[in-house]
Chain A
Amino acid sequence: MDPLPATTPVVEMDAVTKRYGAVEAVRGISLRIDAGEVVAMLGPNGAGKTTSVGLMVGLRAPSSGAVRLFGLPPTDRRARSRAGVMLQESGTTGVLTPREIVALFGHYYPAPMPPAQALALAGLTDKADARIGTLSGGQRQRLYFALAVCGNPDVLFLDEPTVAMDVEARRAFVASVHTLAAEGKTVVFTTHYLREAEEMARRIVVIDHGVVIADAAPRELMARVAAKRVAFSVADALPGGAFEGLAVTALESSNGHVRFLTNEPEAVLRALFARGVELRDLEVAGADLEDAFLSLTRRGDAA
């Protein structure tokens, strides 16, 4: 059935840039995503995540470099027939029902799943026969997910999939992604919810200012970046240059409270003591992904 050799990557981006007028949204991304991977594209708003997904699915053409989907141009119908896409800013008609539009979209793909199955995966069975115009924002978001999976695609591209979902819907959604991943589907999603990346992805690609600044498994990412969060209070102002030359990032100091990230808490604290810093309420904790992210995107700050 699969005419491509098993080694053909699902997505290949080769030194891709994308500029909109004077703005360079993507500034040289090279990326390879293989079959069966679950990849989170993580980054703050405006980092270039949506543009990257747009490039991967052929909604945008690169300014330079090359993008391939299953070894083909992403606009090729054969490539698109194997991809399901959920976009942030698309819309739909209000006068059809979810069951009708999911059945319609199934006709676009060579081997769709039954509409009822797609609706169930999206948690939309209850609203399957309601007019789309009567759905809430979260329910619409589920509908877009149903439309992305209904063609039974090999790869799913989900751009900010959980926006507008409530806690319950989000939990169901995460479960559905796990189900699809267990079936061997490739899933690429963007998020700025860091927990979501940690929860769902086996690989996290961190994007900032249009470049990849980290690309690793969640645990590996944590190990590589500042792994400890240190917080304490000081009675007096910090002496000038207290942190000079120390390996810390994301340093914040206000109203006598000091916080930073570091990989060497012992060495840093030793140096601070030696410089005469009187500290109280010391806390040293393992950094979570949010902290890891902070230390990656603000790498230059404390230097």
Chain B
Amino acid sequence: MTTAPILPMLLAQTRSDFRMRWRVPAFSLTSLILPILFFTFFGLPFARNTLPSGVSEGAYLLASFAAYAVGNVMVYGFGIGVAVERGQKIDLLLRATPLPAGVAIAAKVLTALIFSLISISALIVYGVIAGGIHQGVATWVNVIVRLLVGSLPLVGLGFAIGYSVGPNAAPAVANLVYLPLAFASGLFMPMSQLPGFVQRIGPYLPVYHYGQLAWSALGAPAEPLVVSLAWLAGYTALFMAIALRAYRREESRKFA
């Protein structure tokens, strides 16, 4: 054996990435507490209402903020995380080691998925208890699985930001991109309550189709799953292409 085994390497890298994220309160607290805070302000007051479709508005909003929470981890975790690592030249340190680039990226994705899982589990437990929302466990498990599996375009968006902008600009860019996206996609309040022009733009945005994954799991009226997945696949390809282009540009600058 002349190279190290990949699986222990991936696990060690993931554990280390997780520690690094966990120990930066600006990230860990934001991704854990912000969704709970937002749900408290924008979700709880309506938790006992029922939407025209018969679905609990509390459950609908809880699923929406869960989608927001995953995007939060993906866009901030990757966007700011990757930009900061580039700024600290950690990439240069790793580059000279036998760590394959694929393992480094897989560890980042795993870390973000674990963070997302913790974040939305905490949010859902809190929301169900505080809001007195009656919905079966199986439904929430379905919501969680869909949100994690469907998060790929958000991973791409995070990478695209992380490789395109510097560490100082990254937080601002991530906010400017993700907050309007989440808002216009109906994550903070149902689409029907948004201004007319936003209602017309929303259906073209990636996060709108991402939210559909969660809403349809609750039985709320939503587009067919296939349509959501097609949109998400398209956006994944677009964001990954942007990320790859930025990555290659940096490669040729730093390592040509």
> Roughly how many angstroms separate A297 CA and B23 CA in the complex, as a whole number?
50
**B1-9, B129-137, B218-226: which one contacts chain A?**
B1-9
> Roughly how many angstroms separate A100 CA and B23 CA in the complex, as a whole number?
13
> Roughly how many angstroms separate A165 CA and B235 CA in the complex, as a whole number?
49
Mask, B19-59, CB within 8 Å of A = 1, is 11001100000000000000000000000000000000000
Interface of A is mostly: loop
**B88-96, B113-121, B239-247: which one contacts chain A?**
B88-96
List residues of chain A with CB within 8 A of the CB of B2.
Answer: 3, 78, 81-82, 110
Q: Is the CB of A89 within 8 A of B92?
A: yes
Q: Is the CB of B89 within 8 A of A91?
A: yes
* A226 on the B face (CB < 8 A): no
* A60 on the B face (CB < 8 A): yes
Partner of B100, one of A3, A77, A85, A96: A77
Q: Is the CB of A107 within 8 A of B9?
A: yes
> Roughly how many angstroms separate A62 CA and B6 CA in the complex, as a whole number?
29
* Shortest distance from the beta carbon of B256 to any chain A beta carbon, whole Å: 6
* Shortest distance from the beta carbon of A149 to any chain B beta carbon, whole Å: 13
Q: A3-B2, A77-B3 are in contact. Are A105 and B97 (CB under 8 A)?
A: yes
Residue of A nearest to B255 (CB): A59
Q: Is the CB of A93 within 8 A of B13?
A: no
> Roughly how many angstroms separate A59 CA and B256 CA in the complex, as a whole number?
8
Q: Is the CB of B4 within 8 A of A95?
A: no
List residues of chain A with CB within 8 A of the CB of B1.
Answer: 110
Q: Scan residues 130-187 of chain A and give those whose CB is less than 8 A from a CB of chain B.
A: 144, 147, 151
Q: Is the CB of B96 within 8 A of A57?
A: yes
> Roughly how many angstroms separate A61 CA and B254 CA in the complex, as a whole number?
11
List residues of chain B with CB within 8 A of the CB of A3.
Answer: 2
List residues of chain B with CB within 8 A of the CB of A103.
Answer: 12
* B180 on the A face (CB < 8 A): no
Q: Is the CB of B93 within 8 A of A92?
A: yes
* Shortest distance from the beta carbon of B134 to any chain A beta carbon, whole Å: 41
> Roughly how many angstroms separate A5 CA and B147 CA in the complex, as a whole number?
53
List residues of chain B with CB within 8 A of the CB of A58.
Answer: 96
List residues of chain B with CB within 8 A of the CB of A83.
Answer: 96
> Roughly how many angstroms separate A105 CA and B95 CA in the complex, as a whole number?
12
* Shortest distance from the beta carbon of B184 to any chain A beta carbon, whole Å: 34
Residue of B nearest to A103 (CB): B12
* B109 on the A face (CB < 8 A): no
> Roughly how many angstroms separate A66 CA and B68 CA in the complex, as a whole number?
51
Residue of A nearest to B16 (CB): A104
Partner of B97, one of A80, A92, A110: A80
* A109 on the B face (CB < 8 A): yes
* Shortest distance from the beta carbon of B2 to any chain A beta carbon, whole Å: 5
Q: Is the CB of B93 within 8 A of A108?
A: no
Q: Is the CB of B98 within 8 A of A107?
A: no
Q: Is the CB of A59 within 8 A of B95?
A: yes
Q: Is the CB of A104 within 8 A of B13?
A: yes
Q: Is the CB of A91 within 8 A of B20?
A: no
List residues of chain A with CB within 8 A of the CB of B9.
Answer: 107-108
> Roughly how many angstroms separate A87 CA and B3 CA in the complex, as a whole number?
22
Enumerate 14 A-B pairs (CB-CB under 8 Å) in ascending A order: A60-B255, A61-B256, A80-B97, A82-B2, A87-B92, A89-B92, A90-B89, A91-B93, A92-B88, A93-B85, A107-B9, A109-B98, A110-B4, A151-B98
Residue ranges of A at the interface with B (Cβ–Cβ < 8 Å): 3, 57-61, 77-78, 80-83, 85, 87, 89-93, 95-96, 100-101, 103-105, 107-110, 144, 147, 151
| With A91-B92, A107-B13, A151-B97 already in contact, 11 other A-B pairs whose C-beta atoms are closer than 8 Å | A59-B96, A77-B3, A77-B100, A80-B97, A81-B3, A87-B96, A91-B88, A95-B24, A104-B12, A108-B9, A109-B4
Closest 9 CB pairs of A and B: A91-B89, A90-B93, A85-B96, A107-B12, A80-B98, A91-B88, A95-B23, A90-B92, A81-B98
